Structure 1
Amino acid sequence: MKKFKNSKQSSVKITELMLPSHSNFSGKIHGGYILSLMDQIAFACASKHSETYCVTASVDKVDFLKPIEVGELVTLKASVNHVGKTSMVVGVRVEAENIQTGKVKHCNSSYFTMVAKNNEGQSVIIPGLILENKTAIRRFVRSIIRKEDAKARRDRFKASEFELESHLDILKEYNVKVNL
């Protein structure tokens, strides 16, 4: 195993035609199907980087920006954006192309945290990441900040730390009724 790899060495790209069997009741491609494809490509990318089996530890926020139509070509691109000792953040971008017009639209982006495992299911050390340009550095730092923000959110809303009175005013802006 190499000590360091750049993101190009483990990047993965797949394209698939969207079929009627992939659609939901409104005739658009089902979000769950796209999530499944995203998880598969994140696995492939992480496994390629780590040279071992990987599991999905978490998925960062997923926003469905634009619907995908039956008959469009969907391309998923994955690259390692950040590495720790045994885990990595894989960025996944989803684009759909209208075959007739050639128009490409960005439909979704998300970040998958993947953990490298050995045959016994234990976490294993992975290669580091070579940052070769401004984009690679931006993606790496963005992953650090996203991780810190998530920890701050978790800590702010721990049951033992949560201050009910300081949050009741926020609820006045929402369609809720508080019955304590």
Structure 2
Amino acid sequence: MKKYKTNKDSRVLISELMLPSHSNFSGKIHGGYILSLMDQIAFACASKHSETYCVTASVDKVDFLKPVEVGELVTLKASVNHVGTTSMVVGVRVEAENIQTGKIKHCNSSYFTMVAKDNAGKSVAVPGLILENKTAVRRFVRSIIRKEDAKVRRGRFKASEFEYESHLELLKEYNVKIEL
């Protein structure tokens, strides 16, 4: 195993034609199907970087920006944006192409935290990441910031420390009825 790798060493790209069997009741491609493809490419990318089996630890927010249509060619691109000791953040971008017009649209992006495992299921060290350009540095730093933000969010909403009374004013703006 190399001690350090570039994100080019583990980039993965897959394309798949969207079939009617992938669609939901409104005729668009089911979001769950797209998420499944995203998880598959994140796994492939992380496994390629770590040279071992990987599991999905978390998925950052996924916003479905544009629907994917039956008959479009969906391309998913994945690269390692950040590495820790045993984990990697894999950036995944989803684009759909109308194969008749050639028009490409960005449908969504997300970040998958993947953890490298050995055959016994124990977390193992991953190679470091060589940052070769400003984009790679930006992606690495943004991953650190997302990680810090998630830690703050988790700390804000610990059930044992949550006092709903202090949030009653906020709740007045929403369509809720409290019956405790």
Category of TM-score, reference length = shorter chain: over 0.9
Match status 1:67 vs 2:67: yes
Instruction: Measure, in 2, the Cα distance between the counterparts of 1:179 and 1:70.
Output: 45
Partner of 2:55: 55
Instruction: Measure, in 2, the Cα distance between the counterparts of 1:134 and 1:47.
Output: 25
CA deviation digits over 1:112-152, x for unaligned, max 9?
Answer: 00000001110000000001111111111101110111110
Instruction: Measure, in 1, the Cα distance between the counterparts of 2:167 and 2:122.
Output: 41
Partner of 2:157: 157
Residues 104-143 of structure 1 aligned to structure 2 (within 5 Å):
104-143=104-143
Comparing 158-167 with 52-61, greater Cα deviation is found at 158-167
* Matched pairs, number: 180
Query: Percent of aligned positions with the same letter in both sequences?
Result: 87
Query: SS at the partner of 1:71?
Result: coil
Query: SS at the partner of 1:142?
Result: helix
TM-score under structure 2 normalisation? 0.98
Instruction: Measure, in 2, the Cα distance between the counterparts of 1:4 and 1:166.
Output: 49
Unaligned ranges ≥5, structure 2: none
After TM superposition, give the deviation of residue 165 of structure 1 in Å: 2.2
Residues 5-24 of structure 1 aligned to structure 2 (within 5 Å):
5-24=5-24
After TM superposition, give the deviation of residue 28 of structure 1 in Å: 0.4
After TM superposition, give the deviation of residue 163 of structure 1 in Å: 2.6
Partner of 1:83: 83
After TM superposition, give the deviation of residue 83 of structure 1 in Å: 0.3
Instruction: Measure, in 2, the Cα distance between the counterparts of 1:15 and 1:119.
Output: 30
Letter in 1 for 2:166: S
After TM superposition, where is structure 1 displaced by more than 4 Å over at least 4 residues in a row? none
Letter in 2 for 1:169: E
Instruction: Measure, in 1, the Cα distance between the counterparts of 2:176 and 2:125.
Output: 47
RMSD of aligned Cα (Å):
0.7
TM-score under structure 1 normalisation? 0.98
Instruction: Measure, in 1, the Cα distance between the counterparts of 2:47 and 2:110.
Output: 18
Query: SS at the partner of 2:174?
Result: coil
Match status 1:95 vs 2:76: no
Instruction: Measure, in 2, the Cα distance between the counterparts of 1:145 and 1:153.
Output: 12
More helix by share: 2
After TM superposition, give the deviation of residue 167 of structure 1 in Å: 1.0
Comparing 162-171 with 40-49, greater Cα deviation is found at 162-171
Instruction: Measure, in 1, the Cα distance between the counterparts of 2:169 and 2:91.
Output: 37
CA deviation digits over 1:17-71, x for unaligned, max 9?
Answer: 0011111111100111100000000000000000000000111101110000000
